[in-house]
Structure 1
Amino acid sequence: MELPQEYWRQRTLFEIASEVDTPLALDDATLNRTFGHYARVLVDIDLSKHLFEEILVEREGYAFKLGIVYE
C-alpha cells in the first residue's frame, strides 16, 4: 500500500516504524519526498523476534494495514 503524504513527517514515520522495532534514520529520498509514495526507514531489528509482513496504522476514526518490505 502506498503511504499517504500526511504520514511523511519524520516523527510520524518513526512512530509507525517503531511497531517493527527501533527506527534509526530515513533515507534521503524519503526526507525529500522524491520517491513517490513509498517511505524507506532504517530500522534496527532484533532478528530473534517475529518479522511482521504488515502493521495496522490507526488514527482517530480510521485505520489501515501497511505492508512491510525488508531489504
Structure 2
Amino acid sequence: MASTLLQIRGVDPTTRDELAARAARRGQSLTAYLRDLLQREVATPDLAEVLARVDARSESSAVSAVDIIRADRDSR
C-alpha cells in the first residue's frame, strides 16, 4: 500500500487533544485513529449519492409506492 502524507493545518489544540484522547481510549495512535475515521467517512455515501440511488430505483420501478398503498387501501 502506498503511503501518502496528509497534513491538516490550523487544527485547534482542543480538537487535537480530544482526537488524541479518543484514539487512546481505543488503544490506537492518533494517526491510526484518524486513518480509520477518514476511511469510514469515505465508505459512507453522502446525501447526493443516496438521492441519486433513490432516483435510479424509482425510475426503474414500474409501480410507485403510492400506487401500492392506494391499491392496498382500496382492496379493504
Same fold (TM over 0.5): no
Is the radius of gyration larger for structure 1 or structure 2?
2
Tell me the TM-score normalized by structure 2: 0.22
Bigger proportion of residues as strand:
1
Bigger proportion of residues as helix:
2
Instruction: Say which structure, 1 or 2, has more relative contact order (CA 8 Å, 6+ apart).
Output: 1
Tell me the TM-score normalized by structure 1: 0.23
